[in-house]
Every structure is written in C-alpha cells, then in structure tokens.
Amino acid sequence: MPRLIQGNQVNLLIPNLGSTSLKYQILEMPSETVLAKGRLERVTNYREAIAQISTGATAIDAVALKAVHAGPRYRGTFVVDDEVTAAMRQFLPAAPAHNAIYLTAIEAFQQAMPGVPIVAAFEPEFHATMPEYARRYGVPGGWLEDGVVKYGFHGASHRYIGERVAAMLGRQVKLVSCHLGGSSSMCAIALGRSVDTTMGFSPQSGLENATRHGDLDVFAVLYMMDRHGWSAEEVRRQLAKGGGLAGLSGVEGGDVRDLEAAGTERAALALDVFVYQVKKTIGAYAAAMGGVEAVAFTGGIGENSARLREKCCAGLEFLGIELDDAKNAGNGDRVVSADGARVTVLALGTNEELIVARRAYRCLSGR
C-alpha cells in the first residue's frame, strides 16, 4: 500500500457519529496526543453538525471514521474511494441507521475538506480472527456469495478493552468483553483474539439494544409480513426504531435509566431479558474459550451502572465470578471483583477513537 501522508507526524480528525450525537477528537499520531475534542448533542442534521466541528489552527491531515458495514471485501481499514462507498450503499439495508449516517458524513467531509484523505476503519476488522465454524450460518450455500456470514461489530471497542485488560492484569487472558449501552454486544477474546461475538450479519442481532431487536427467529418476521401485508421497509423500520428494550418495555427510546425509573412490570421484564442474555452469553463464551479469566464491562451502561453489573454477575459464582460491593460502586477504570475471586471483573471506559486513529495511521503510512 502506498504511503498517503508526508512525514511521521500527522493530525487525524476522528469523528464518532451516534444516532443523535457527534463526538470527535483530533489526535496527533503516532504520539497519540489529544489536541482537541468536542461533542454535539441532539443532532438531527449531520451535515450541519460536521460544519460545527472546530479544528482551530490545527491542520487536519486526514479524517478517520469508525465505519460499520461494507460486506466481505471490507473487513479492515481502507482509504475511502468510490468502491468503498458503493459497498457501503450495497449493505445499507443491513445497517440502515449506521451506514446512512456515515455515508452522509463522508460526503460532508469531502465537501468541507477537499483533498484531505478519509479513512474508513470498519468495525468487523477485529472479528476477522473468528474461526469459520463460528462465522457461518446454516443457510443455502449460494447465500455465502452474497456475503451472508457473521461479521460482528463494536470491533474498535472490543479491541481496546482487550488491550486495556491485558495492560491492567499484566498478561493476555480469556476475556468476555461486554459493551453495553444503547447499542450492545459481547465478545469472547482469547489471548487478544476475537473468537466469537454476539452481533452477526448486521448490528441488528445478538443482545437487545435500546430500540433495535436482538436475536429473532426470521420466520416470525416472515409470518408478520404475510399476516399484515407489510413491506420489507416497514418491517425494517419497526424493528430498528420500535424493537429491543423499547419494544419490550413500552418506554420510548429504550434507555436503561428510563426503564429503571419507570417502575412498571414491562420495564422490569425488559431489564430481566437483557440481564439474562448477558449472563447466558458469559457462560456460553466460557465454554467457547475453555474457561474465563476476566469479564470487562464497558459502554454507557456497562461502565456506569453498578446495579446492572451486579445483576449480570449474580448467580455466576460457580464460574468464579464474585463482585465486591464497595469496588463496584466506585468510579474510573478499576477491578470490581472480590479479592481472591477466580475471575477478575472490571469496569472500564472505552476509547474507540484511539483504536481508529491507530488503524488509520497504519493505513495512511502504508504499513
């Protein structure tokens, strides 16, 4: 790969686009020095939000995006060109909310910063180490040619958590990474390598998300389409906007904090479903890795909700998982398991922007 940047020191703008927010950092690489950061909330127009990003006097050498889905050819980090955006459009139906936002962002940055390279760091890259038997679905053989396999997402977060846990414990371990937030997934990381993850062909699978459903029998979808005459677009809208914790609880938006405050039977059931899925997956991934040595909680819920961590770990003492109440109630990156527990449990902040910056720098440097 040719080198696309001059010199060893470059400034990367790393925007992280959420469903209603835009946060960004400017990182000097390879020193990883944070030169600036910002956050915009309640975003409804991403072109306008991108125009509000303030870089001051800092010259931007490249923009690096945490992109989501572009199919089997793009499970890595790539300089954006027409082929990359075409692949993102092809897989737009599989990740409608995510890909639409990032396609808009790419166009906006191309207009705002003409000539500045844009790098797409696709989330499935970390999961490229999954064994084939963990990646394949039992679908007709021809479907594979259309890219119907398990990709996995939240790759930047899970990679960061794997590296952070190894640094804190002084060694690589068999780790279950729990990224729990408005969008949630879990990953089995064996000695630094992803071996399984809950999200599959799309981010619309695995654990229940705030408004997106998790695992679902596809024939239930076909049944409802036939029964009500719904189009694929109508079903996609319902399951992406009104499913998940919102659908289970009846609480608009499906925010766990709102569910905890609601005090209704449906809200309590939604939380029970979510906790059950997390707990079951920890056990399943212990089996997949031949044991578990650490469990890490991150994301808006995983990092900040002591109550949810307690519920997710309750009943897993047989695996060696035991929390310390005082540690669990604390703050910052820390171990929250009891002294002497066989499994180390941690609460950690994630840093997807840093992982994206590292990947983009390697790509631009031709490494």
DSSP secondary structure letters along 2-54 = ---SSSS-EEEEEEEE-SS-EEEEEEEETTTEEEEEEEE-S-S-HHHHHHT--
Range with top average pLDDT, 14-28, 48-62, 106-120: 106-120
Q: Is the pLDDT of residue 222 over 70?
A: yes
Q: Is the pLDDT of residue 90 over 60?
A: yes
- Burial string for 201-228 (b: 16+ CB within 10 Å, else e) reads bbbbbbbbbbbbbbeeeeeebeeeeeee
Q: Is the pLDDT of residue 43 over 90?
A: no
Over residues 337-361, the mean pLDDT reads: 97
Structural domains counted in the chain: 2
Is the residue at 267 inside a domain? yes
Over residues 336-364, the mean pLDDT reads: 97
CATH number for position 187: 3.30.420.40
Are 159 and 352 within 8 A, CB to CB? no
Q: Is 181 found in the same domain as 134?
A: no
Mean pLDDT computed over every residue of the chain = 94
Are 129 and 189 within 8 A, CB to CB? no
Is the residue at 211 inside a domain? yes
Three-point CA angle 241, 247, 94, nearest 5°: 40
Helix (H) or strand (E) holding 112, with range, is: helix 96-112
Helix (H) or strand (E) holding 183, with range, is: none
Q: Nearest Cα to 30, choosing from 10, 1, 5?
A: 10
**Percentage of residues of the chain with pLDDT beyond 70:** 98
Q: Is the pLDDT of residue 4 over 80?
A: no
Q: Is 196 found in the same domain as 111?
A: no
Q: Is the pLDDT of residue 26 over 80?
A: yes
Q: Is 181 found in the same domain as 128?
A: no
Over residues 262-287, the mean pLDDT reads: 97
Over residues 141-146, the mean pLDDT reads: 95
| Residue 5: per-residue pLDDT | 62
Q: Is 316 found in the same domain as 196?
A: yes
Over residues 220-244, the mean pLDDT reads: 96
Q: Is 181 found in the same domain as 135?
A: no
Q: Is 303 found in the same domain as 234?
A: yes
| Residue 45: per-residue pLDDT | 87
Q: Is 30 found in the same domain as 179?
A: no
| Residue 97: per-residue pLDDT | 83
Is the residue at 186 inside a domain? yes
Over residues 243-252, the mean pLDDT reads: 96
Is the residue at 181 inside a domain? yes
- At 99, the amino acid letter reads N
Q: Is the pLDDT of residue 1 over 50?
A: no
Q: 82-90 and 96-112 helices cross at what angle (nearest 10)? A: 160
Q: Is 98 found in the same domain as 189?
A: no
Over residues 214-225, the mean pLDDT reads: 97
Over residues 289-301, the mean pLDDT reads: 97
309 vs 49, more confident: 309
Q: Is 176 found in the same domain as 258?
A: yes
Which residue range is the domain that position 190 belongs to?
A: 170-347
Q: pLDDT for 301-339, tens place per residue? A: 999 999 999 999 999 999 999 999 999 999 999 999 999
Is the residue at 158 inside a domain? no
Measured between alpha carbons, how far is 210 from 181 in angstroms, rounded to an integer?
8
Q: Is 51 found in the same domain as 128?
A: yes
